[in-house]
Structure 1
Amino acid sequence: MLYRYSPDKYPLEGLEENYCRNPDNDEDGPWCYTTDPNQRFDYCDIPECEDECMHCSGENYEGKISKTISGNECQSWNSQTPHAHGYIPSKFPNKNLKMNYCRNPDGEPRPWCFTTDPNKRWEFCDIPRCSKYATPPPTSGPTYECLKGKGENYRGKVSLTVSGHTCQRWSEQTPHKHNRTPENFPCK
């Protein structure tokens, strides 16, 4: 039996393995051919994306919240008033700096924005974390048990410094206070 949709005919549609896809832009969403001889294809049950919540530190947040924690309205990213800044949307096309929506273009603990209050340059936004049942964001790549590059994807268990000191737990604030906590950086 010949299938109309195959990886050879549609190389840009992600038709790998047996994953649900929507190569024909079907209005009912992603589907797949089934292994049941009596049912040629069926639609897939895929959870809706949660736009008004964030995963991790909100680096991939694409929602439309545009107010800060204290209720300040966000300044548009393509505006330089009341605060001049270097986050020009055309210079950062991958950061989704649209309208005046809260974003996290620089790896802060959560999305933020420049405010329209001339006395408050920027502020974090109050965006809830997505439920543990929500579809997680795509991983940023493989993780390693050894050092590769700068070690940003290292996930091994070494907890002793080169000078022999035991590492402080990330969740602890003694003896050193810091903001690199599991709550602020849940995916790191």
Structure 2
Amino acid sequence: MGITVQPVDESLFDDVQKIFGSKGQPARCQCQGYRMGWYARHSDDVQGRRELLRDQVIEGHGLVAHLDGEPVGWCSLAPRPDYTFLRQTTWKGRQENQEDATVWAVTCFVTRAGFRHQGVSRALVHGTIDLARDRGANALEAYPMKPAPGKDVTWGDMHVGGLSSFLDAGFRVVHVPSLRRAIVRYDY
């Protein structure tokens, strides 16, 4: 059967929570870091962040991957202005309109423990293109890590995805704000 990817809706919220698990950074953050900022995503209000995520899932802002029917991966994407913390992390040297809601952003991936290194994130990256286009985006942007050749990047840093996955899906590099990060874009 393989990996299938679908847009989230309320019926998939429990699958998202199964992917996040009950401990570790995904369970704590509830994919709110780029929406709330570092301090708020580390507060003790996990339930509050979970409710925010539920609202985003109901809005259809994300994808879930299943492997042979089992929920294994999550990807957050929404109009770029929804992610206010991006303005602090990805804008150095950029001149475009930060409030352009026709540009969507891919900010976070979670692959469930036990299912990593099986192509889940790559499948999700490919799914982002259709979802953003179907929701009216003119462009789709992401902020992946670009590890140096032969260097490992810890999983926590890789929550934004790897550059090669985006390039393989047809994204192009539009800005390089640091040695370890690229900004990629897919124009429709």
Give the TM-score band, short-chain normalised.
Answer: under 0.3
TM-score normalised according to structure 2 size: 0.27
User: 1 or 2, which has the higher strand percentage?
Assistant: 2
Higher RCO structure, 1 or 2 (CA under 8 Å, sep 6+): 2
User: 1 or 2, which has the higher helix percentage?
Assistant: 2
TM-score normalised according to structure 1 size: 0.27
